[in-house]
């Protein structure tokens, strides 16, 4: 088992990564304060792992809620069903929520914990690669609104993140690929050598080679933990983690939540960001080709859906959280391994990227 730390003063917490960790009670129970525990999971994960967790938490005043599976359910109604469950079980301010599932389960559970009685504890037990390398770490929680992705939420850090890499055995290939998008993102924004390593190991990763996956997860979490520790509330460099996300969120909202997986939309969005960077001659075309090739090898889309034209992108991106006082800011690449957040790009070139995309 490897253990990393997210250093945030009194809100610091460990990330444990290894095989079979969901069967190690102390990793989880050490971070539960009171007696009451609500496990939040979904209909796909519950048959696979809920009994295991119930066994581990034997002795607590335990309840569980099983949400429907999919981004289309990451909304305020599903959130409210978690509150209802907490209240039906008369859970008090010292209860702990446990998120057992992928990014949707983690985001909803964390936000429910942020709001229930104005804030209770929660833990992350991510079971998808995307949640393990990205969404379970850093305390961004929330739900979607029909008019915009992740528009309602809170910063609320978990008490710990326990990544059992065995859970990837039950993940379908499409979900696994979606996770690779965020892994590739870390290489692009922060670490050219890691990007090269992914290029060299993408076949082993797709074949679920345990050592390769464990290294990819550890490396991703290390980069994410470092960035979050330096800028918890995203007043600066944390925004780099949004590479491809402004385009990607527009795709997710524009196609209807749940049709494209988050990682798929981010993949197409990252290539759009690379294309726009190349149009500014910040990035050689050969690097765009490398990125496109890696995304394709990973089994990810490299262009947005046909129906998304320039006008639709602009309409949806206008509402993005990274839009400050009317100016659109994007994460673009100066090189593989080096990203910038900037509003200083040509709208004519952006138009070309969006037109080519359609």
Contacts with a second copy by CB under 8 A lie at: 34-36, 76, 80, 83-84, 87-88, 90, 92-94, 114-119, 140, 142, 145, 147-148, 151-155, 318-319, 321, 323-326
CB of 186 to a second copy, least distance (A): 22
**Which of 76, 230 has the CB closer to a second copy?**
76
**Which of 68, 119 has the CB closer to a second copy?**
119
**Which of 10, 207 has the CB closer to a second copy?**
10
Task: Quote the CA–CA distance of 89 and 106 in Å, as a whole number.
Answer: 21
Count of all residues that appear for the chain in the document: 358
Instruction: Say which of 31, 74, 140, 156 is annotated catalytic.
Output: 140
Check if 321 is active-site. no
**Which of 50, 319 has the CB closer to a second copy?**
319
Check if 279 is active-site. no
CB of 111 to a second copy, least distance (A): 8
Closest to 355 in 3D by CA, of 315, 317, 326, 312: 312
Check if 193 is active-site. no
Check if 24 is active-site. no
Instruction: Say which of 74, 156, 219, 224 is annotated catalytic.
Output: 224
Angle between helix axes 173-190 and 192-206 (nearest 10 degrees) is 170
Do the beta carbons of residue 220 and residue 183 sit within 8 Å? yes
CB of 145 to a second copy, least distance (A): 6
Instruction: Say which of 71, 232, 234, 264 is annotated catalytic.
Output: 234
Q: Is 246 exposed, middle or buried (0-12, 13-18, 19+ CB in 10 A)?
A: buried
**Which of 159, 337 has the CB closer to a second copy?**
159
Check if 174 is active-site. no
Instruction: Say which of 262, 279, 322, 329 is annotated catalytic.
Output: 262
Do the beta carbons of residue 299 and residue 330 sit within 8 Å? no
- Residue 129, phi then psi, degrees to nearest 5: -65, -40
Task: Quote the CA–CA distance of 80 and 276 in Å, as a whole number.
Answer: 40
Check if 264 is active-site. no
CB of 291 to a second copy, least distance (A): 29
| HSE-up of residue 202 (Cα within 13 Å, Cβ side) | 21
Check if 334 is active-site. no
In the structure encoding, which two tokens stand for residue 242, read together? Answer: 């949004």
**Which of 103, 337 has the CB closer to a second copy?**
103
Check if 242 is active-site. yes
Place of tokens 């345990």: 210
CB of 27 to a second copy, least distance (A): 23
Strand pairing report for 330-335 and 338-342: antiparallel
Check if 156 is active-site. no
Instruction: Say which of 31, 42, 149, 182 is annotated catalytic.
Output: 182
Angle between helix axes 192-206 and 210-230 (nearest 10 degrees) is 140
37-72: burial string, b at 16+ Cβ within 10 Å, e else = bbbbbbebbbeebbeebeebbeebebbbbbbebbbe
**Which of 156, 219 has the CB closer to a second copy?**
156
In the structure encoding, which two tokens stand for residue 324, read together? Answer: 């400050």
Query: Given CA atoms 52, 53, 56, 62 in this order, what sign does their dihedral have?
Result: negative
Instruction: Say which of 190, 249, 322, 329 is annotated catalytic.
Output: 249
Check if 234 is active-site. yes
CB of 350 to a second copy, least distance (A): 18
Instruction: Say which of 74, 149, 245, 279 is annotated catalytic.
Output: 245
CB of 353 to a second copy, least distance (A): 22
H-helix or E-strand containing 27? helix 25-29
Query: Which residues are catalytically annotated?
Result: 118, 140, 182, 224, 234, 238, 242, 245, 249, 262
């Amino acid at each position: 088992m490897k253990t990393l730390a997210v250093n945030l003063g009194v809100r610091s917490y460990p990330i444990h990564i290894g095989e079979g960790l969901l069967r190690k009670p102390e990793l989880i129970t050490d971070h539960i304060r009171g007696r009451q525990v609500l496990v939040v999971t979904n209909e796909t994960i519950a048959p696979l792992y809920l009994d295991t967790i119930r066994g581990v938490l034997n002795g607590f005043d335990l309840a569980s809620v099983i949400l429907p599976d999919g981004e289309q359910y990451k909304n305020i109604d599903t959130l409210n069903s978690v509150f209802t469950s907490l209240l039906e079980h008369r859970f008090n301010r010292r209860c702990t929520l446990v998120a057992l599932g992928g990014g949707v389960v983690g985001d909803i559970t964390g936000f429910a914990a942020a709001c229930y009685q104005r804030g209770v504890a929660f833990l992350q037990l991510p079971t998808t690669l995307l949640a393990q390398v990205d969404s379970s770490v850093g305390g961004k929680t929330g739900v979607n609104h029909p008019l915009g992705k992740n528009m309602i939420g809170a910063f609320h850090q978990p008490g710990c993140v326990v990544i059992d890499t065995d859970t990837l055995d039950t993940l379908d290939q499409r979900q696994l690929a979606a996770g690779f998008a965020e892994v590739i993102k870390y290489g692009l924004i922060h670490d050219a050598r890691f990007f090269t390593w992914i290029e060299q190991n993408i076949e082993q990763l797709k074949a679920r080679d345990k050592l390769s996956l464990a290294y990819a997860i550890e490396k991703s979490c290390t980069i994410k933990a470092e960035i979050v520790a330096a800028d918890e509330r995203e007043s600066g460099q944390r925004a780099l983690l949004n590479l491809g996300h402004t385009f990607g969120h527009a795709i997710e909202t524009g196609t209807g939540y749940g049709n494209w997986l988050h990682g798929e939309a981010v993949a197409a969005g990252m290539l759009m960001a690379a294309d726009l960077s190349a149009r500014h001659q910040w990035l050689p075309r050969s690097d765009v080709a490398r990125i496109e090739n890696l995304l394709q090898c990973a089994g990810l889309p490299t262009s947005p859906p046909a129906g998304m034209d320039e006008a639709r992108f602009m309409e949806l991106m206008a509402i993005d959280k990274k839009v400050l006082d009317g100016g659109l800011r994007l994460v673009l690449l100066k090189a593989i391994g080096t990203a910038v957040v900037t509003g200083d790009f040509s709208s004519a070139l952006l138009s070309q990227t969006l037109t080519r995309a359609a």
